[in-house]
Amino acid sequence: MKDRLQKLGEQARREMAGAKSLDELNEIRVRFLGKKGELTQILRGMGGLSAEERPQVGQVANEVRAAIEEELSARTASLKELVKEQKLRSEGIDVTLPGTPRQLGGIHPLSAVLEEIQDIFLGLGYSIAEGPEIETDYYNFEALNLPKDHPARDMQDTFFISGEILLRTQTSPVQVRTMEKTAPELPVKIIAPGKVYRRDDDATHSPMFNQVEGLAVDRRITFSDLKGTLALFAREMFGEKTKTRFRPSYFPFTEPSAEVDVSCVMCGGRGCRVCSHTGWLEILGSGMVHPRVLEVSGYNSEEVTGFAFGMGIERIAMLKYGIDDMRLLFENDLRFLRQF
């Protein structure tokens, strides 16, 4: 019986030492030490032993059990260590692997152009003003010298919310709103960027688009201030070689009024498809603030003068980047936007 016990002990330890996983080890433990295990079976047979033999066999049995348990805990520890190592190895980071590139966002061409315009005018001492997109008939038209039956309203049909409330068609109402707030202080030097709305929709017109308004009011502001400012703006925006041309025009809120062209950004003025072979591109409307606009805004038109201008940001972006359809700027197609 002692022999059987010793052999059993050796076998158990050998098997445990060879166990490849904690599960396998546990299965071996149950097989030898469990309630129905082999060691237990042998010990049950001890009843048939003589009184002298019993303690001796009991001692051997205890030693064998202790040896098996020792092996069991040693193997448990080493298998746990192994599992940990494998886990570490499989979860490790290979720093030599190429990384997953992160998609970087970009600045929308409209925002880029607006930021550039703002930078130029902030550099000239202008500040940025804002006004509501839902505007009253008074600020959008009336105060800008466009009474109810004025034919110039035709070009700026818009979305009316009620008879007197509408989506602004231009950023020009911000002129009046700003002057009302500032009068009688001088000078007023602001640009006012923002969305405007009109009943237009084709490749070069959108029912919603963006404008930047400019306004400078002070004593002795002259038309040459306007010319100098816009010539400088055009050179900064489109390049040092850009020429400007002022053509007489009409706006109800300026007198005199002018439309401003720049030498074509594509052909430099030689004539191409973009400029319809004229060498010039129209970029904005401008003029000397009409005395009536100064007066309704709280300034004495005998003492102060001012100039104003307004440009479409989409148009500037289209000219600058050679974009031929305005709708591309609003469709958010990444294949288009990634080009900037």
Please work out the total of residues on this chain that contact ligand DAH, with binding judged by CB under 6 A. 11
CA 102 to each of CA 105, 156, 335: distance values in angstroms, whole numbers, following the listed order: 9, 45, 17
Q: By C-beta, is 178 or 242 nearer to ligand DAH? A: 178
Candidates 63-71, 264-272, 293-301, 303-311 — which segment interacts with ligand DAH by CB under 6 A?
303-311
Q: Which among 151, 129, 133 has a CA at the least distance from the CA of 252?
A: 151
Minimum Å distance from CB 114 to ligand DAH? 16
Return the number of the residue (109 or 214) whose C-beta is nearest ligand DAH. 214
Give the shortest CB-313-to-ligand DAH separation in angstroms.
12
Among 15, 71, 213, 314, binds ligand DAH (CB under 6 A): 213
Residues 214-253 interacting with ligand DAH (rule: CB under 6 A) = 251
Footprint of ligand DAH on residues 151-190 (CB under 6 A)? 170, 172
Query: Is residue 140 within the footprint of ligand DAH (CB under 6 A)?
Result: no
| Region of 5-13, 107-115, 261-269, 306-314 interacting with ligand DAH (CB under 6 A) | 306-314
Piece of the chain touching ligand DAH by CB under 6 A; list 8-16, 134-142, 285-293, 314-322 = 285-293
Paired residues of 303 in beta bridges: none
- Smallest distance from the beta carbon of 215 to ligand DAH, in angstroms? 7
3-class secondary structure for 115-153? HHHHHHHHHCCCEECCCCCEEEHHHHCHHHCCCCCCHHH
C-beta closer to ligand DAH: residue 109 or 287? 287
- State which residue, 193 or 285, has the beta carbon closest to ligand DAH: 285
Residue of 149, 174, 150 whose CA lies nearest to 289: 174
Residue 326 touches ligand DAH, criterion: CB under 6 A: no
Cα–Cα separations (whole angstroms), residue 309 to 21, 190, 328:
82, 11, 26
Asked if 305 touches ligand DAH (CB under 6 A), the answer is no
Strands 208-218 and 280-289, sheet pairing: unpaired
If the CB atoms of residues 233 and 309 are measured against ligand DAH, the closer one turns out to be: 309
Q: Which two tokens stand for residue 59?
A: 């001692």
Report the nearest approach of ligand DAH to the CB of residue 320 (Å): 19
- Out of 140, 242, 254, 263, the only residue in the binding site for ligand DAH (CB under 6 A) is 254
Q: Is 295 helix (H, G, I), strand (E, B) or coil?
A: helix
Q: Apex CA 317: angle with CA 312 and CA 318, to 5°?
A: 100
- Identify the helix (H) or strand (E) that includes residue 259: strand 254-263
Rg (CA), the chain: 44
Binding test (CB under 6 A) with ligand DAH, winner from 8, 210, 310, 328: 310
Task: Write the single-letter amino acid at 21.
Answer: S
Kindly indicate which of the ranges 54-62, 86-94, 269-277, 307-315 contains the residues binding ligand DAH, using the contact rule CB under 6 A.
Answer: 307-315
Give whichever of 28 and 283 is closer to ligand DAH, judged by the CB atom: 283
Given a contact cutoff of 8 angstroms between Cβ atoms, the answer to whether 320 and 283 are in contact is: no
Q: Decide: residue 273, CB within 10 A, 0-12 exposed, 13-18 middle, 19+ buried.
A: exposed
**285 is a site residue for ligand DAH (CB under 6 A):** yes
Cα–Cα distance between 283 and 288 in angstroms, integer?
A: 17
Q: Mark the segment that binds ligand DAH (CB under 6 A) among 85-93, 133-141, 304-312, 326-334.
A: 304-312
> What tokens were used for 37?
């295990």
Q: Is 309 in the site for ligand DAH (CB under 6 A)?
A: yes
Residue type present at position 229? T
Token pair for residue 257?
A: 């009024």
- The site for ligand DAH (CB under 6 A) is made up of 170, 172, 213, 251, 254, 285-287, 308-310
